[in-house]
Amino acid sequence: MEVKKISDYIWEIPTTEKEGMLVPARIYATEKLLREMDAGVFEQVTNVACLPGIQKYAYCMPDGHWGYGFPIGGVAAFSKEDGVISPGGIGFDINCGMRLIRTDLTVGEVRPRIRELVNLLFEIVPAGVGSKGFVKLSVEEFKQVMVRGVDWCIEKGYGWEEDRERIEENGCIEGADPSKISEKAISRGIAQLGTLGSGNHYLEIQIATPDKIFDRAAAKALGIFENQALVMVHCGSRGFGHQVATDYLRVFDAAMRKYGITVRDRELVCAPFNSPEGQDYFKAMKCAANAAFANRQVIVHRLRQGFSRIFGRKPEDMGMHIIYDVAHNVAKLEMHEVDGVEKELVVHRKGSTRCFGPGRREVPEIYRNIGQPVIVGGSMETGSYLLVGTEKAMKETFGSTMHGSGRTMSRTKAKHEVKGSELKKKMEEAGIIVKAVSNSGLAEEAGFAYKDISEVVETMELAGISRKVVELKPIGNIKG
């Protein structure tokens, strides 16, 4: 497949490379990252470029790897009028995302009690497949969670009033409709509020080391200081979102025949955005997205309780404010410029993060001068990043950047390379206390199974899409 070099960080596959491509495909990567990408990325991103109503380009970010339908790291925007919506462009874990919580505690205060803290948080934030939370909901209450998201949590005492403004969409995407949700999806999600789940989901205690603060003015605006302890949460809508996606993949299979749509890959099943099927899925997707915001909110409530128990202080006195919360598996209606014209587009982000630049109204007022905070999770051995969005991102990538480091090795292969018990010992020797549901699950998430997070983040910084503020180093990790 012909790949043209546009710049040191942008590579383009022209429409001549595959029959049916409506726009070129663009991959953001260094030459090294591009070489290391699996063949599935090139196949999938060019398949996405064939979908009806796609605008400008089909994108893949530097953390890109093979996924379901879209590559993970995929971004595509479709015309609201004659474009489609595709569950494969959103993912099964709808609104899987990141939340970062600051504290006024320093590494000197937290490290002596880190094992105690990790053990307690592991106990009060359930993790693993099928884990259930402490919040007991009736079906009617769960429907309220779907519609109201974080607002419901705050009303029930699981959050502070200020939390709302520090979350993408204020923790609630309007237009969710529980009547579009199956009974099976409800039964899978009703007991999962406040739980981490499995796979690469985690809860991590991190440190802002002095040599890793890159933009001190932005760091100050975000509440970051040297040697500060922070907490990062990575999880989504769990079995609930998975069932919503599964349900609508079946619906869309029939819808494509009805609307005469053909796709190059069955995993890209879609429906016209404005069709009854497309709108039903969009409303159901919002239910799952709001449930995911609520899930992360209840986890934050438990975190605040846990820190209080260990340090004997109120969460407010420890400055346990949310810095931000971002979704990285979702579709949104957003205004973007295409060929000099402002258009309302259906932007799909699948393993990619919104990174709107300064001044955009969707960015909370407290951060509007610096741009939207972007939380990028690395592997549990390497650390993570806090970035901000740029004006250039608005022009080039529909205000989108990467979401993490991206896998380079299958879970099965990783388990063959290392034993979970050995990895745990190695991490403890490196100063990272880790607690996992299973040793085999821990082995799947070894650092060597992922790309170099710093290279991935640096790629988008040098391309001018997102800007580094601070790198965060792990000292304690709870793994699903």
Extract the annotated binding site for GMP. Answer: 200-204, 328-329, 377-380, 384, 403-406, 479
Please tell me the distance from the alpha carbon of residue 121 to that of residue 300, in angstroms, as a whole number.
11
CB neighbour burial string for 291-323, b if at least 16 within 10 angstroms, e if fewer: bbbbbbbbbbbbbbebbbebbeeebeebebbbb
Which residue in the list 65, 242, 336, 403 is annotated as catalytic? 403
Cβ-count burial of 368 within 10 angstroms (0-12 exposed, 13-18 middle, 19+ buried)?
Answer: middle
First CA to last CA distance, the chain: 38
Beta carbons of 236 and 93 less than 8 angstroms apart: yes
If 0-12 CB within 10 Å is exposed, 13-18 middle and 19+ buried, where does residue 358 land?
middle
DSSP 8-state code for residue 215:
-
**Length reported for the chain:** 480
Buried b vs exposed e over 425-442: b needs ≥16 C-beta within 10 Å? eebeeeebbbbbbeeebb
For the annotated binding site, the residues are 93, 200-204, 234, 328-329, 377-380, 384, 403-406, 479
Phi and psi, residue 444, nearest 5°: -60, -25
257, containing H or E segment: helix 238-259
List, in order, residues 6 or more apart from 98 with CB less than 8 Å away: 232, 233, 234, 325, 326, 328, 353, 375, 376, 377, 403
Residue 291 forms beta bridges with which residues?
none
How many Å apart are CA 99 and CA 110, to the nearest integer? 20
Instruction: Report d(CA 373, CA 473) in Å as an integer.
Output: 18
Interatomic CA distance for residues 33 and 14, integer angstroms: 20
Can you say which residues are annotated as belonging to the binding site for Mn(2+)?
93, 201, 234, 328
Mark whether 403 is an active-site residue. yes
* Torsion angles phi and psi, residue 27, rounded to 5: -120, 130
- The crossing angle, in degrees rounded to 10, of helices 238-259 and 276-311 is 170
Identify each DSSP E strand in 355-430 by its residue range: 373-376, 384-389, 400-402
Catalytic (active-site) positions: 403
